[in-house]
Chain A
Amino acid sequence: MTVLDTTTKNTAAAYSAFRPLLQGILPSTAAFLLALAAGAILIVFWGGNPVTAYAALADGAFGSWNSIAETLLRSIPLTFTGLAVAIAFRGGAFNVGAEGQLYIGGTAAAVVALWLPALPSYLLLPLMIAAAMGAGALWAGLAGMLKLRFGASELITTIMLTYVAIYLVSYLLRGPLQEAAGYLPQTDRLPSGARFASLITSTRLHMGFLVTLATVALTQFLLWRTVWGYRLRVTGINARAAMAAGMAVGGLSMSAFLTSGALAGLAGVMEVVGVQHRMIENLSPGFGYTGIIVALLGQTSPFGVLIAALLFAGLQVGATTMEAAAGVPATLTVIIQALVVLFLIGRPAIGQIARALRRS
């Protein structure tokens, strides 16, 4: 417990005015900077120069229109999986299976496009998106049902269902859905109606980025302006109090799973429609898992998730330039991502160390 002296009261009052803001941004910024600093030390051990390495990283991520476009492109699936984890977390559930929901969503979208290739784009794209959301929601809903009906921890079931999803998709891509040529575990190229238009010409960035921004704004609105969002947050903080206050806690919890799965499914359809133009076996390099870190770093607030996703996308996109220009392995950025988590979770420990240092 902090005991305030009278002399520090004024500063404390000034501080308290900004407190909600600071509480959200400060720990995340600190964790990110600390991770970069620790990464710099690793670069030195590697025999590199952290300044040139980070400069190359930043250049690779934001140095040209094309690299900016690539970073934004990469942020799309990260934002959706980040939102998926964040919304579930707000409702008191830990969905660590966004990866599987992403695969199921992407596959469902591809199936729709292969089934109705003649549909015009303005019908086909919404239909694919709806299918991906529905399939993702169903997959997460399974975990939700297991939790509500049998008390099974979603930490276990969502991760296990991810394996089921990935192998199921693998089977489909080698069997019923495999391309006509029959070589690779992937579908045929989707019809041209199943594509997003480019957002910036001569880059890969597509209209899906606008959908991403709209979804961020919408989830922010849902969480803070609607009765559903209010009840979801209350349930996530104190389910017993929510129940005692007459809220349908079971239904709210289920809706958190469904919404979360739908968002993860969106990440899948974005990759299919915007990047690969077909369903492939390795659709995601772990977007669903990185989404957990993105949600944490974004303090499970939709706008925070967007910013965290942009940062992580920049790290991932800039990594190859860093490797080429400064000779530092690209995998360093994976270490930095992991360090961000450690510094976020270890915040109480950092506080304790700081106090101990001050005492001595």
Chain B
Amino acid sequence: MPASSPMYLPTDQSPAPLELSGITVRFGSMVANDDISFSVRDGEVHALLGENGAGKSTLMRVVAGLLRPQSGEIRVDGKAVHLQSPLDATALGIGMVHQHFMLIPTLTVAQNVCLGLARAGRIFPNLRKVATELAELSRLYRLDIDPFARVGDLSVAGRQRVEIVKALYRGARILVLDEPTAVLAPQEVEGLFDVLRKLSAAGTAIVFISHKLQEVMAIADRVTVLRQGRSIASIDKRDTSVVELSRLMIGADIRLPTVDGKARPASAERLQVTGLSYRDDHSLRLDDISFTVHAGEIVGIAGVDGNGQHELAEAIVGLVQPQGGQIMLDGVDLSHASPGTRIENGLAHIPEDRHRTALVDLAIRDNAILEVSGHHPFSRYGLMRPAAADSFTRQLIDHYDVRCTGPAQKILTLSGGNQQKVVLGRALMRDPNLVVAVQPSRGLDIGATAFVHRQLLAQRERGAAVMLISAELDEVLALSDRILVLFKGRIVGDLSRAEVTVERLGRLMLGGDE
């Protein structure tokens, strides 16, 4: 049975439960949503497809009542509405499932659902009644939720179902899910899709926001493609294909670079990791990891999120101290070195979480010299030399095409792509020996992603050793000379470019044998 065939057949005359027309949202001079129109019908799964930065989240915030557009109209059941706050949206039957769950881990499912819900009783909610009704909803849609379970004890997929049931309990007829599969393992995605199919069969209108083509093809009835803030097309799933959608989404003008794939002459080993083990407060995160990265080689690290990639990167850059194993860079033992010493020895780190690990809420200039402030020419006799920092920053802005007003601009006022260019520039302009890039294109639009990829390839050409850790399989596949697969903290696969197929990789990522 095709996943999309709706059992619930709306008549074409009835007004769409949710319709947006001409929505425009500007942030300063940046147009995040440019005249976007789309509608979703009862019982339909409508996918909003687009790259990071295409305007999906902005549009979602408009629908959720979190953001008011400068122009355009939102109609619910054919009637124009003005959403002043999320409460208005909820009252109209719009339910949101955010990417970051809005749940309190220490409370039970029923308690979470009651929060801020006057109907459950203002001061002392009638938890028993709510729980009974939740159990009923759960049974109806096979959500498999225990109303008395503590949210903190649930799996990520479980918490996501709690968010869904919370929205339903609040009377959602229109359910909006923001990148719901980003946090799920592949098997869990199937479970979510089953739930969504049941909901749509019962008449719920579903907006499914994603940048993953395969998933959109699997679940959607109709697809609206967003690109750079504009809606490029609204098409029936039946009339399109992965190839066409990908062309629409990315645009014909930009193509992501790939590694040339030519077998390279054997070159020197730069990074040698032997027997690396790391245990945090909870469990063993890295289990006897050994690998090497050669000069002029990009080694991709693939794996389902949470299988040790994060810890591997932190261990290599020195943010955590592994209990066992050795890290050698160009013959120097860095196993117990501070991050500073590793940087002195030619390590460049593009961290996963820009805001937490790479940026400081100061001027671009202050961020550009973060790793070299103690060195000539940026300081002398312990005094800063702002002129040197300025000229270096101008160079960085120039070489890496950072769109800004100058070195004194606050870095957090830049767009994500431009922030990342600063992080990239300050790391790569040092001509590093080893680049550890973690999710280097997260949150960037396609143009900025292509730029980041070209820079990584340029480092490879230069002869640096490059480690690329990414949850985006496409990224790993496009750039890597070799791919290591992590599963539960162990390397379960080491595939050369020629050996790699998506199927093989997928099996390894799920812990299967070859």
Contact = CB atoms under 8 A, between A and B. Distances in A.
Interface of A: 1, 3-5, 225-231, 233-234, 237-238, 240-248
Contacts of B374: 227
Q: 9 nearest interchain CB pairs?
A: A246-B340, A245-B370, A246-B343, A245-B371, A227-B379, A238-B360, A246-B339, A237-B360, A244-B357
A244 B349 CA distance: 8
A4 B29 CA distance: 8
A137 B27 CA distance: 48
Interface residues of B, number: 33
Nearest to A233: B362
Contact of B356 (A3, A5, A225, A240): A240
B70 interface: yes
A29 B371 CA distance: 37
B382 A228 contact: yes
Main secondary structure of the interface of B (DSSP, over half): mixed
Contacts of B339: 243-246
B28 interface: yes
B366 A246 contact: no
A5 B70 CA distance: 9
B467 to A, nearest CB: 15
A5 B374 CA distance: 43
25 contacts: A3-B26, A3-B28, A4-B28, A226-B382, A227-B374, A227-B379, A227-B382, A227-B383, A230-B366, A230-B373, A233-B362, A237-B362, A238-B356, A238-B360, A240-B356, A241-B356, A241-B360, A241-B370, A242-B370, A243-B339, A244-B351, A246-B338, A246-B342, A247-B340, A248-B340
Of A225, A231, A242, A244, chain B has the most CB atoms within 10 Å of the CB of: A244
B434 interface: no
Nearest to B375: A227
Given A225-B384, A226-B384, A241-B358, 15 more contacts: A3-B28, A4-B28, A226-B383, A227-B379, A227-B383, A234-B360, A234-B370, A237-B362, A238-B359, A244-B317, A244-B357, A245-B339, A245-B370, A246-B341, A246-B343
B341 to A, nearest CB: 8
Nearest to B68: A3
Contacts of A227: 373-374, 379, 382-384
A231 B317 CA distance: 19
A243 B319 contact: yes
Contact of B373 (A1, A4, A231, A238): A231
Given A237-B360, A246-B338, A3 B27 contact: yes
Contact of A238 (B319, B340, B361, B383): B361
Given A226-B384, A230-B366, A247-B340, A242 B360 contact: yes
B229 to A, nearest CB: 15
Interface of B: 25-28, 67, 70, 317, 319, 338-344, 349, 351, 356-362, 366, 370-371, 373-374, 379, 382-384
A14 to B, nearest CB: 14
A227 B373 CA distance: 7
Contact of A3 (B70, B343, B359, B360): B70
Contacts of B357: 240-241, 244
B340 to A, nearest CB: 3
Nearest to B317: A244
Nearest to B69: A3
Contacts of B343: 245-246
Nearest to A1: B27
B371 A230 contact: no
A150 B24 CA distance: 52
B250 to A, nearest CB: 28
A243 B318 CA distance: 9
Contacts of B340: 246-248
A163 B360 CA distance: 36
A230 B384 contact: yes
Given A4-B28, A234-B362, A234-B366, A246 B384 contact: no
B19 to A, nearest CB: 23
A237 B383 CA distance: 20
Contacts of B356: 238, 240-241
Nearest to B340: A246
Of B70, B340, B351, chain A has the most CB atoms within 10 Å of the CB of: B340
B70 A237 contact: no
Contacts of A229: 384
A248 B342 CA distance: 13
A3 B362 CA distance: 22
A205 to B, nearest CB: 34
A246 B361 CA distance: 17
A234 B27 CA distance: 28
A170 B115 CA distance: 52
Contacts of A4: 28
B88 to A, nearest CB: 13
Of B343, B358, B360, chain A has the most CB atoms within 10 Å of the CB of: B360
Nearest to B347: A246
